[in-house]
Amino acid sequence: MSTNESGMWPEASKGDARFRLLVNSITDYAIYMLDREGVVTTWNRGAERIKGYSAGEIIGRHFSTFYTDEDLAAGLPARALANAARDGSYEAEGWRRRKDGSRFWTNVVIDAIRGADGEVIGFAKITRDLTERKKAQMALAASEEQFRRLVLNVTDYAIFMLDAHGIVSSWNMGAERIKGYAADEIIGQHFSRFYPEAERARGTPEAGLETARREGHFHAEGWRVRKDGSQFWASVVIDAIHDESGAVVGFAKITRDITERMEQQKRLDQAREELFQAQKLEAIGQLTGGVAHDFNNLLMVVLGSLEGLGRRLTLDEREARLLDNALQAAQRGAQLTQRMLAFARKQELEQKEVDLPELVGGMSELLGRTLGPSIQIETRFPLSLPHAWADANQIDSALLNLAVNARDAMPNGGALEISARATEVAQGNPQLAPGRYVVLAVADNGEGMDAETLARATDPFFTTKGVGKGTGLGLSMVQGIAEQSGGRLHIESERGHGTRVEIWLKAVEAKADEPPVEVRPAVENEPGPMRRLKVLAVDDDALVLLNTTMMLEELGHNVVEAHSGAKAIEALEAAPDFDLVITDQAMPHMTGMALATEIAARWPGLPVILASGYADIDDAKALRLPRLAKPFGQAELARMLRRVCDNAGQTQPA
């Protein structure tokens, strides 16, 4: 073959002219002829545009000029011609070189041209520049590879593929870390093996796939199983993968281990519930404390008036019995207010060293009479047990209350065990300060409580004894005493297996510094008469003040009344020759504590008795004020006056 002078196509018949013009005008494809050895014999404008050579520069040169050094070294041009000659056609893609040395990606088709005798006389070669497409493919491949590596190396999420039937077809490092399987252990297995047996039996895995197949997406949380059999709480997302026709060809599955988050949420919910309960109990405690304080004042008036009437009137047997009934009812009311104050942590506690075995031994006869012959009482105490720091009277009351509860839980009789042990509480305990404790326990083999009842057992006013048979303050009172003493109450119970209640109390160490002890009444032998005292009585409640004045006057003392702290100061300024001041604590504008502080500063040495049902008056301990718990009767008032006067050296009559 040869070209004409223009370097394009040789002269031929006019029938070929239009075809030659068409080929020569194509610019998107390089279309040219080779002789049987591969030498370029024709060249169109597309070849000139794509490869950069003009016809005059390339015709007569071997087509291997366009191949890269790597392909030349591999003998690719010769193989391409040989394949085309053998098969009639050869097609491939690869890198080629332009005249300026730059590389481009091509699609190459070489067709053998045969003569009349069938022998190959040359080749037709069509080359297309696919560089942009190749770059896009390479960018896509690079992106896919980057994404694949990204997914593969994610460790916080299990990301893997499932086929249309739920068989695992890929596996990343996160899946291996979370689920415990290596890729070769799990690929080809059904993903349902990650579900607990009960979930598999319910068809949960298949239901998830069906939802993803139907809606395109599925999300759920639940327990999943690791290779070692342990369970974890997982957040699971399944997305359906569709082909071009919209058919589901598989699923993408993402699993995250959120066990710690779930546990944190549980702890947060528990903390919120505890805060809510604490706020509720605090509100009820404040209400209860306030109500109990007011009731104390009313009961003090009732008790004082009834006692006064009993001393002043001559009554027949029936009238005396009626008066005695009224006194007992008022005393029961006083006990109820003490329980309310104990629950509200506002009860006066007289804490000291308590020998628990000795205390329980001293109560054995009372417990026996109270519980009856159908209850067998057994005590278990170690030979060596530290003393507890507590109010012995309150522990008596708490122990009796627990014993009665146990009796009520054993209507057909049973065994009651009272025991104690010493234990240590380490640093970081959320309920107790570190240190040594004595645990007093009361256990029965009665009906026990279900979980719901146990959860509410210490709630104020909650009772299972029926209307009129219990106040619902028993256990809350015991809890209040324990916590006010620096300990806690712990209850274990199961329906049909009895109940165990533990009161944790601070232990008294042999060498520990004891808290300051308030003045205690001494054991008196035939107390002598007291001299007539001038007493300033202070209370904002007129009824209580009248009652206190009456009792003081009946004891033979001269009384001046003041209805407020300010009036008391005025009375002292007018006549500072008082022997003693007895004041209520809860008064407006100036509390009894504030009045006592003022008196200590201006009239040092003047004794002050603080009368209150509340216990949370810390400054009173600092001033070592004697405190009279409301409601009090004339006997309690007389003992307090004698104690104060003994300490001041004022007992003997003037």
Q: Using one digit for the tens of pLDDT, what is the confidence trace for 473-489?
A: 557 667 777 777 778 88
Determine which helix (DSSP H) or strand (DSSP E) holds 197, and give its type and residue range.
Answer: helix 197-202
Q: CA nearest 633: which of 263, 379, 296, 403?
A: 296
Q: What is the rounded CA–CA span in Å between residue 388 and residue 358?
A: 12
* Residue 125 neighbours by CB under 8 Å, 6+ apart: 30, 31, 32, 33, 34, 63, 108, 109, 110, 111
Determine which helix (DSSP H) or strand (DSSP E) holds 373, and give its type and residue range.
Answer: none
| Residue the block writes with tokens 């009993």 | 310
Start-end of H helices in 59-130: 69-73, 76-87
Structure confidence at residue 633 (pLDDT):
80
> Using an 8 Å Cβ cutoff, are 434 and 418 in contact?
no
Q: With b meaning 16 or more CB within 10 Å and e meaning fewer, what string describes 504-541? A: bbbbbeeeeeeeeeeeeeeeeeeeeebeebebbbbbbb
Structure confidence at residue 519 (pLDDT):
40
Span 163-209, pLDDT tens digits: 999 999 988 888 899 999 998 999 999 999 999 999 999 999 999 99
Q: What is the rounded CA–CA span in Å between residue 473 and residue 480?
A: 10
Whether the pTM exceeds 0.95: the reply is no
Token digits for 401?
């209350």
Structure confidence at residue 292 (pLDDT):
57
Indicate the length of the chain as a whole number. 654
Structure confidence at residue 9 (pLDDT):
46
DSSP letters spanning 420-432: EEEEEE-TT-SSS
Q: Is 428 exposed, middle or buried (0-12, 13-18, 19+ CB in 10 A)?
A: exposed
> Using an 8 Å Cβ cutoff, are 651 and 524 in contact?
no
Structure confidence at residue 89 (pLDDT):
93
> Using an 8 Å Cβ cutoff, are 435 and 425 in contact?
yes
Structure confidence at residue 496 (pLDDT):
85
Q: CA nearest 50: which of 30, 68, 21?
A: 30
Structure confidence at residue 476 (pLDDT):
66
Tell me the sheet residues that pair with 611.
584, 628
Token digits for 576?
């500072």
- Residue ranges of the chain with pLDDT lower than 50? 1-12, 344-345, 466-471, 511-526, 616, 651-654
Q: Residue 235, Cβ neighbours under 10 Å: how many?
A: 17
Token digits for 256?
């995250």
* Residue 183 neighbours by CB under 8 Å, 6+ apart: 171, 176
Token digits for 38?
């591969």
**Amino acid code (one letter) for 227:** K
466: left (phi over 0), alpha (psi -120 to 50) or beta: left
> Using an 8 Å Cβ cutoff, are 396 and 355 in contact?
no
Distances (CA, A) of 242 to 111, 208, 251: 40, 17, 9
Looking at beta carbons, which pairs linking 227-232 to residues 24 or more positions away fall under 8 Å?
Answer: 227/179, 227/180, 227/181, 227/185, 228/180, 231/196, 232/178, 232/257, 232/259
> Using an 8 Å Cβ cutoff, are 163 and 169 in contact?
yes
Structural domains of the chain ordered from first start: 14-135 (3.30.450.20), 154-257 (3.30.450.20), 271-343 (1.10.287), 352-506 (3.30.565.10), 534-648 (3.40.50.2300)
Structure confidence at residue 110 (pLDDT):
94
